[in-house]
Amino acid sequence: MSQPPDYESIPGTYVYDARRGREGYALNMFCMSLNKADNRKSFKEDEAAYLLRFALSAEQRRAVLQRDWLGMLKVGGNIYYTIKIAFCDGLTFQDVAGMMSGVPKETYAQMMLAGGRSPEGNRFKKSSKTGEDHG
């Protein structure tokens, strides 16, 4: 592929495309295993040992063990899969969304109650060559 896909100009967004699908397969399949109660139990008992069952990269392994939610997306994590780790921890989707966007839980919740994050100024990466945010 010579040109980066046009969705790469969207800020703060990790589209689960072919590239991330290849990089993240093992990470996401680990997350998928947490749909089974027995596996959730094994994972909670010894996370590091449980992760050895999957062919994760060192960075993927670090991101999982440190619950670096944004970091997981950067190494091929898909949010519908990585959220299974959060469920295992007793967190909600909104808890994780707040952490990924780098604000305290209460601040994020307030933003949602006030109508959510505006698309204004959030359509294009600042450095994007594909255009200005036309609001």
Indicate whether 10 belongs to the interface with other proteins (CB under 8 A).
Answer: yes
Using a 10 angstrom Cβ sphere, with 0-12 exposed, 13-18 middle and 19 or more buried, the burial of residue 64 is: buried
Distance CA 108, CA 111 (A): 5
Stretch near other proteins under the rule CB under 8 A, chosen from 42-50, 58-66, 113-121: 113-121
Q: How far is CA 123 from the centre of its chain?
A: 19
Q: Rounded to whole angstroms, how far apart are CA atoms 82 and 121?
A: 28
Task: Give the binding range for other proteins (CB under 8 A) out of 11-19, 46-54, 59-67.
Answer: 11-19
Is 130 in contact with 6 (CB distance < 8 Å)? yes
123 near other proteins, judged by CB under 8 A: yes
41 is an interface residue for other proteins by CB under 8 A = no
The footprint of other proteins (CB under 8 A) covers: 5-7, 9-18, 21, 25, 28-29, 31-32, 34-37, 40, 70, 73, 78-81, 83-84, 87-88, 92-94, 97-98, 100-102, 108, 111-113, 115-119, 122-124
